[in-house]
Structure 1
């Protein structure tokens, strides 16, 4: 057995690798949800460093940020992680049987239409993220808010700007073009938006849950790829944007190489968890741990303000130490390269999670051991600072009544 690549195939694999890395990198940054108290401290630190004397702009910014909060977040727990391979197997088998016993063209049209509906919103959300990052703080937008109330109680609210409307209009046109032409480039872009949104919105509650999820899907992937032809059959016959594809040769009709979105999203949400752990470590260093970071302490800009992390909302680059994110991100690259290499050696489809799961879970754990932070690693609970803040706020509101 020999490992051989031609130039075109090497370019195709490089394109697949880059396509997988983009939603993981940006989705991980977008997954960070900053508690209001930390936002206040960051803005206060910026105001102090800029010599600002007015609180009006800062208060307006706080109000804008409050408006854009996405509401309560549902995090994946250990019980969810245990169910994931079972539910995934059920969905995969259902898709396989549908393709086998029903009209394939009809199934593909229905699935494509289903993905198009969600694709409009998902693609628009991704465009808004990049639009805001590109505009930065140089331009303040006029924002509008729609409210749905029942009596005096607000049931639903939605904040938007001209940027949102423009991105939504473009997304509708783009998704319609993808649905009509089914061109592989448009399908790839839509698939990337699904990956970005899944990674930024699906949050693991701890590294214990993340490790359990990767372990379960490690076995899931091995069985459905090596044990049966179900996974390969579904991936090659479904025309919906559930995979990233790239032609093996741009000059000849030689087929496509592909990577399923599951091989991007599942490791991606673990990479995003590592990113949030880095962020919490940076915040704790500046403001103290959750238990001591009271609203009064956080409100003082002099409290180690210089150590406050610059957040993803300030642009594409999050400028604070990110050892766990970098370790996991690099491990993902290595794992995917190994997957591609083994696939070319054996000339057969490979279960990518066979390599990606241990690479991601093992690398971050080893990083924690090396940094003597194993206890913090295993005890980390995502969103604990925000939940603690909400609990304190609820107590204060109860006292006022």
Structure 2
């Protein structure tokens, strides 16, 4: 008979594997529905709501899915070469920088999505344009909620990098998983 602690650990692993897929799938569906509604709105809305996120979702076709093993093999080969020829200190620095960037972005997105879904409040929307002559290089939209969530995400990521705490690691992993699944759109 299995120990109760082992069963709890297995249940937690199963829940952490299924929760991002389930919630990310629903976020992906709501993103697709809101993109149809967004087409008839004005270019610069004054207030944000949960449907105003301007993240573009990637479509994953059958051909892209067939190429996934090739991309995965290339990534594993690259990782093997990096681990073989770079010192472990450099690998640690590179992975820490990657985790910091992805972690802040993912936790910010999840926190903003959860706060908007829980409260339903519409906040003033700020726009930042970066343009050169007549060509727009970058356009960023954000609210005060994004700034607060980004600050909280930076604190969580900094805490993880400082302490390597397993709870912070799991929070960053779950947020990255949710964000990745929410961005995908599968062809039928």
- Smaller-chain TM-score range? 0.7 to 0.9
How many residue pairs get aligned? The number is: 182
Matched, 1:70 2:55: yes
CA shift for structure 1 position 173:
1.0
| Corresponding residue to 1:168 among 146, 150, 172 | 150
**Match in the other structure for 1:369:** none
| Corresponding residue to 1:92 among 73, 76, 80 | 76
CA shift for structure 1 position 149:
3.2
CA shift for structure 1 position 108:
2.8
TM-score (norm 2): 0.82
How is 1:316-331 mapped onto 2 (pairs within 5 angstroms)?
Answer: none
In the aligned structure 1, how far is the partner of 2:94 from the partner of 2:37?
Answer: 45
Contact 2:126 2:142 in 1 (8 A): yes
1:36–1:82 distance in 2 versus 1, CA, 3 Å = closer
| Corresponding residue to 1:118 among 102, 105, 109 | 102
**Match in the other structure for 2:111:** 127
In the aligned structure 1, how far is the partner of 2:39 from the partner of 2:69?
Answer: 41
TM-score (norm 1): 0.41
The two structures, once aligned, show a CA RMSD in angstroms of 2.8
| Structure 2 gap ranges (5+) | none
| Corresponding residue to 1:149 among 124, 128, 131 | 131
Greater relative contact order, per chain length (Cα 8 Å cut-off, separation 6+): 2
Matched, 1:83 2:80: no
In the aligned structure 1, how far is the partner of 2:116 from the partner of 2:28?
Answer: 15
1:143–1:79 distance in 2 versus 1, CA, 3 Å = same
Contact 2:38 2:52 in 1 (8 A): no
SS in 2 for 1:116: helix
**Match in the other structure for 1:109:** 93
In the aligned structure 1, how far is the partner of 2:104 from the partner of 2:35?
Answer: 30
| Corresponding residue to 1:199 among 178, 181, 186 | 181
SS in 1 for 2:33: coil
SS in 2 for 1:75: strand
**Match in the other structure for 1:34:** 33
1:36–1:118 distance in 2 versus 1, CA, 3 Å = closer
**Match in the other structure for 1:317:** none
| Structure 1 gap ranges (5+) | 42-58, 207-401
In the aligned structure 2, how far is the partner of 1:129 from the partner of 1:156?
Answer: 22
Matched, 1:185 2:182: no
Which structure has the larger Rg?
Answer: 1
Contact 1:113 1:179 in 2 (8 A): no
In the aligned structure 2, how far is the partner of 1:74 from the partner of 1:140?
Answer: 26
Contact 1:126 1:193 in 2 (8 A): yes
